[in-house]
Amino acid sequence: MNVYDRLKELHVALPVATPPVAAFVPTVQAGNLCFVSGHIAKRDGKSWAGQLGVNMSTEEGQRAARTIAIDLLGTLHHELGDLERVQRIVKLFCLVNSGPAFTEQHLVANGASELLQEVFGRAGSHARSAVGVAQLPLGACVEIELVVEIR
Amino acid sequence: MNVYDRLKELHVALPVATPPVAAFVPTVQAGNLCFVSGHIAKRDGKSWAGQLGVNMSTEEGQRAARTIAIDLLGTLHHELGDLERVQRIVKLFCLVNSGPAFTEQHLVANGASELLQEVFGRAGSHARSAVGVAQLPLGACVEIELVVEIR
Amino acid sequence: MNVYDRLKELHVALPVATPPVAAFVPTVQAGNLCFVSGHIAKRDGKSWAGQLGVNMSTEEGQRAARTIAIDLLGTLHHELGDLERVQRIVKLFCLVNSGPAFTEQHLVANGASELLQEVFGRAGSHARSAVGVAQLPLGACVEIELVVEIR
């Protein structure tokens, strides 16, 4: 089954890629590696603001992370022309806007990691770090960046 | 116009590269990728201490980020021998020392991103993440690391 | 002297690699680069919880970082089959769980950097960033990820 069939099966509609809000580009490819800029969580087209452990639960954070993963796929589809060119999701870095006592960043990140594995199968399993940060651009609850191997 | 002419036009003087303050090296090249260590903001040769949203404005943060970009170019010039060897600025990661309510990390990062684009043109446009961290080494207001493609 | 002899000389016993606690894999190799997932500090097999500048000293943080470096070597040994395949430690990223006034993240990171240099010599010297984060998964005091060049 190809990637687009799997997206359909998962009822995932790719968003139209939106240009970055600042002086950078969505992806840069160097050799076979594609570096994808940090994407913040969005809701209704705007920053999904919030802080885990303060005004958001782990479950909400997971949903936000899943949403970012879908946006990252939208960006990759737009930049690569075809998601079948993804050889491997290499590395995911998940930054969670965290109150002082919130220690479930790894569970929040699972919202994105699991979607990538559902979509790409074995090629979607990746190295990862998840951390709790003091704040994020536009007050977003989660930000995720990727390194992807391209064929 | 070559990179050094553009630096002259922008009235940017490259600093003398200074050795890291701890047990690491300024850059490591693997294949065509050069990984540049995180550089903290400096003023008068010392850590430029401060926290955005507490005792520094977005505009000051942008100036600090621009200063780091110049220091990163100084390091690359020293390590590569010639900035013309830069094929592409691939990825910039900007860590902003942020008070709890500061959400303009992306605008701070623009101070570095815009300088790189002025100096390298299209080759200076890069993937990027910007985040707000709780603290940085020596209390620095901003820290930036790079991945650069070398020819 | 080979890597395993040096480990013996340093009285370092590699741990048995433990599977990640969430939906990701310990390492992914793309071309010659191996991306190693963030490893949190552990003590007695559990998260080594703490926050620098609040309930942990710089010296304790250095010991935690050294412990993580050993765990990272355990993971690399398990994943690569032979640590002699390490061509170069390319990049280390050290995330330190930091109270608001703690500014010695670079000294904490040295605990890991110095071990890598002791074990690999020149091939162990790496590019690095060290930052202070608001929190980490399971309340860990330090988290470290690596990029390693493989032969």
Supply the pLDDT for residue A23.
84
Supply the pLDDT for residue B22.
77
CATH number, domain at C73? 3.30.1330.40
Mean pLDDT of B39-56: 97
Task: Tell me, yes or no, whether B53 lies in a domain.
Answer: yes
Q: How many Cβ atoms sit within 10 Å of the Cβ of residue C130?
A: 30
Tell me the mean pLDDT per 10 residues along chain C, length 151. Answer: 92 87 91 97 96 98 98 96 97 98 98 97 96 98 98 95
Question: Dihedral (C-alpha) B135, B138, B141, B144: value to the nearest 10 degrees?
Answer: -90
The tally of domains found in chain A comes to 1
Mean pLDDT of A72-86: 96
Residue B102 reports pLDDT greater than 80: yes
Of all residues in chain B, the one with the smallest CA distance to C128 is: B37
Write out the H or E segment, with its range, that includes residue C86: strand C86-97
- What digits encode the pLDDT tens for the residues A8-30? 999 999 998 777 777 899 999 99
Residue A63 Cα, gap to closest chain B Cα (Å) = 20
Enclosing domain of residue A105:
3-10+34-150
- Chains touching A (at least 3 CB pairs under 8 A) are B, C
Encoded tokens for B126? 């890069």
> How high is the ipTM of this complex?
0.95
- What digits encode the pLDDT tens for the residues A99-113? 999 999 999 999 999
Global pTM reads 0.96
Task: Tell me, yes or no, whether B91 lies in a domain.
Answer: yes
Write out the H or E segment, with its range, that includes residue B97: strand B86-97
Q: What are phi and psi of A103, to 5 degrees?
A: -130, 25
Supply the pLDDT for residue B4.
95
Task: Tell me, yes or no, whether A23 lies in a domain.
Answer: no
Task: Tell me, yes or no, whether A29 lies in a domain.
Answer: no
Task: Tell me, yes or no, whether B21 lies in a domain.
Answer: no
Task: Tell me, yes or no, whether A20 lies in a domain.
Answer: no
Q: Which of C32, C106, C114 to mutate to test the interface with B (most CBs of B within 10 A)?
A: C106
Q: Are A115 and A41 in contact (CB under 8 A)?
A: no
Residue A143 reports pLDDT greater than 80: yes
Of all residues in chain C, the one with the smallest CA distance to B26 is: C127
| B contacts of A20 (beta carbons < 8 Å) | 128
Cα C101 to Cα C105: distance, rounded to the nearest angstrom:
11
Task: Tell me, yes or no, whether A28 lies in a domain.
Answer: no
Task: Tell me, yes or no, whether A19 lies in a domain.
Answer: no
Cα separation values, A79 from A18, A116, B9, B81, B124, Å: 11, 17, 33, 33, 18
Q: Cβ of A135 and B98 within 8 Å? A: yes
Supply the pLDDT for residue B16.
87
- Chains touching C (at least 3 CB pairs under 8 A) are A, B
Residues in chain C: 151
Residue B144 reports pLDDT greater than 80: yes
